[in-house]
Amino acid sequence: MSERQQFGNADEAEHSAMQWEVEQKFRLSDVQKVAAKLTELGVRFTEASQQTDRYFNHPARDFAKTDEALRLRQVGEENFITYKGPKIDPDTKTRRELELPLPHGKHIPEQFAELLAALGFRPVAIVQKKRRRGELLWEGHDVEVALDEVEGLGSFVELEITADDLTLDAAKSALKALSRRLGLGPSERRSYLELLLAGKS
């Protein structure tokens, strides 16, 4: 769950409502089974899109220790740069997130990686995944569903509800009920980056 300031485009810059992402992720041993249950519940999955995330460490502080992240994300021709601040509340995983669009094009991430390198940022890891997305109405909440096949890590499902202060508790309960219905659990709290780095050491 994270407080997100997301700027989809320039005209949305004024938008800064207090929103929360209630999010849970689960490792899957049988993707087809979970995909079938979700389809039963009405989810229609998109085609898989390739997402490449390049993570960087800061020239003067260790993001692993400060609990921050800087990421270049490529999804097809689209590109984004994302900063994640430290979790303000470890329990709810509240954190600041700034995601900005970069120009389209397949060489853009390389070019920004070069810029970041010139500024002293060090590449940490590349997370590559194939993601299929879907949506589900569950207990009155719009749930975003993602089936991820992560290179070097395996398969996961992510469930996410965007809530405000008033709907936060209900969203948490709804997510819990949905994960039970799908036979999922326990949830994986670590990020893909953390899992990849843990696997390396």
Nearer to a copy of itself, 59 or 154 (CB): 59
Query: In angstroms, what is the minimal distance from the CB of 71 to a copy of itself?
Result: 12
Nearest 10 degrees: CA dihedral of 54, 58, 59, 62? -120
Active site residue 55: yes
- Which tokens is 138 given? 């569950």
**Nearest to 63, CA basis, from 52, 72, 71:** 71
Interface with a copy of itself by CB under 8 A: which residues? 7, 9-11, 13, 58-61, 70, 81, 83, 85, 96, 98, 100-108, 110-112, 114-115, 118-120
Active-site position among 20, 26, 55, 63: 55
Nearer to a copy of itself, 7 or 45 (CB): 7
Query: In angstroms, what is the minimal distance from the CB of 88 to a copy of itself?
Result: 14
Nearer to a copy of itself, 35 or 72 (CB): 72
Query: In angstroms, what is the minimal distance from the CB of 115 to a copy of itself?
Result: 5
Pairing state between β 3-6 and 94-102: parallel
**Nearest to 79, CA basis, from 45, 113, 46:** 113
Pairing state between β 78-89 and 94-102: antiparallel
Enumerate the active-site residues.
Answer: 55
